[in-house]
Amino acid sequence: MKRVLLGISGGIAAYKSAELVRLLRTNNYDVRVVMTHAATQFITPLTLQALSGHAVHTQLLDANEENAMGHINLARWAELFLIAPASANCMAKLSLGIADDLLSTLYLAAECPVYIAPAMNQAMWSKPVTQENLNRLIHHQVSMIGPDAGSQACGEIGYGRMSEPSDIVAQLNALNAPQLLLNKKILISAGPTREALDPVRYITNRSSGKMGYALAQQAQLLGAEVTLISGPVQLAAPKNIHTLYVESAEEMYAAVMQQVSGQDIFISAAAVADYTPESVPTEKIKKQGTHTQLSLRKTQDIVASVASLMNKPFTVGFAAETHHLEQYALDKLQRKNLDMIAANWVGRAEGGFDSAYNALQVYWQNGQKTFTMTDKNQLASQLLTLIAERLNA
């Protein structure tokens, strides 16, 4: 758990700090909050105390607070110092080394990396003196997060909006993740496929694509160059990831085969249809009689085809099972010539298809590992760490 000191200065964007603290905690950061006097006019220390789970620091010269954790100790405690929002006044003080309150004093005392998310009116942001302060801070190795452009609390439009808390946390994650997959190319398939029965109907399955999308995002955080091949899902397009959309198993096969050369890793997280209609009429099938029959043929096995290539990437399959998890998973590992298989139960109350949570039992030649129930982002990061380990083994 990474220790982050969050400094909040006085600006209307301070109302977003509550969400920021909550997100930092769900992303596994231990958060301590320090506020300027002006910040306490916008959001109460009590709110941030409740969300961070720790007393909030506001005073430089307060005997009680210095007793609990003095400012030097607080600066030493921090592994990251994030200042969000950073007002124009706050940036000006930090850039000149003025230390006249707790937040600015902590900045001087901190030896950890410092990140600043500016927030101010667009005219204040573009003022030459603010830009000089900004350049001075960058020169002092402070990293900037934002600001974004858009509508502002004052009714104006332009640069100066604080980045959204989710973007701030995503950037912190990206900047602090160990680069275990740096320079690795990774291809990931995700989601279900749709097999057309006629122009209006199709066969599909309950896969949501969440696991594959989480793997793509986490792989990118670990430094990999990611290509995602996605079946039809209800998820937002992942940011800055090369994503190709397909519908049927046949299209997914073609896309994977087209992208696979030069990849270091292939993770087949998609729930590919095993069977597809023999033929697809161009006209809608009409209702007739009390029963009907479908004639299905087997689809090509994508992951097995990748694993049989001459220069095959490190190939990982998934096995979603309602029974005999270990036996079926081990059988697939051998039969499909995979380097690793991640097996999970489906059809149970918790986890699996369509859930944000899952647990995995992972097998490879002569080894296995259990990942207990957790959210799919966390799980994806654990699985990728194991893949990186096995890849280098």
Active site residues: 154
Q: If binding is defined by CB under 6 A, does position 10 make contact with ligand C5P?
A: no
Q: If binding is defined by CB under 6 A, does position 270 make contact with ligand C5P?
A: yes
* Number of residues binding to ligand C5P, judged by CB under 6 A: 13
Distance CA 187, CA 97 (A): 47
Residue among 14, 255, 303, 333 that touches ligand C5P (CB under 6 A)? 303
Q: If binding is defined by CB under 6 A, does position 255 make contact with ligand C5P?
A: no
Q: If binding is defined by CB under 6 A, does position 35 make contact with ligand C5P?
A: no
Contacts of ligand C5P in 127-146 (CB under 6 A): none
Q: Cβ distance 343 to 326 under 8 Å?
A: yes
Distance CA 103, CA 89 (A): 12
Residue among 301, 358, 371, 384 that touches ligand C5P (CB under 6 A)? 301
Distance CA 225, CA 209 (A): 19
Contacts of ligand C5P in 274-293 (CB under 6 A): 274
Residues 6+ apart with CB under 8 A from 60: 71, 101, 102, 105
Q: Give the closest residue to 205 by CA, choosing from 375, 31, 347.
A: 347
Determine phi and psi for 374, rounding to 5 degrees. Answer: -155, 175
Distance CA 280, CA 195 (A): 9
Q: If binding is defined by CB under 6 A, does position 195 make contact with ligand C5P?
A: no
Q: List the structure tokens of 273.
A: 């249809």
Measured from the CB atom, the residue of 93 and 332 that comes closer to ligand C5P is 332
CA dist 136 → 103, 115, 126, 144, 351 (Å): 18, 14, 15, 12, 49
Shortest Å distance, C-beta 308 to ligand C5P: 12
Judged by CB under 6 A, the stretch of 63-71, 92-100, 140-148, 270-278 that binds ligand C5P is 270-278
Shortest Å distance, C-beta 384 to ligand C5P: 16
Q: If binding is defined by CB under 6 A, does position 85 make contact with ligand C5P?
A: no
Measured from the CB atom, the residue of 274 and 326 that comes closer to ligand C5P is 274
Judged by CB under 6 A, the stretch of 142-150, 196-204, 300-308, 359-367 that binds ligand C5P is 300-308
Burial of 177 (0-12, 13-18, 19+ CB in 10 A): middle
Shortest Å distance, C-beta 302 to ligand C5P: 3
Q: If binding is defined by CB under 6 A, does position 302 make contact with ligand C5P?
A: yes
Q: If binding is defined by CB under 6 A, does position 318 make contact with ligand C5P?
A: yes
Determine phi and psi for 230, rounding to 5 degrees. Answer: -115, 135
Q: Cβ distance 362 to 340 under 8 Å?
A: yes
- Residue span 204-243 as binding mask against ligand C5P, x where in contact by CB under 6 A, dash where not: ----------------------------------------
Judged by CB under 6 A, the stretch of 45-53, 195-203, 213-221, 265-273 that binds ligand C5P is 265-273
Evaluate the omega torsion of the peptide bond into residue 178 and state whether it is cis, within 30 degrees of 0.
Answer: no
Q: If binding is defined by CB under 6 A, does position 249 make contact with ligand C5P?
A: yes
Q: Give the closest residue to 166 by CA, choosing from 354, 356, 377.
A: 377
Residue with tokens 């680069």: 179
The secondary structure element, H or E, covering residue 94 is helix 88-96
- Return residues touching ligand C5P (CB under 6 A): 249, 268, 270, 272, 274, 299, 301-303, 317-319, 332
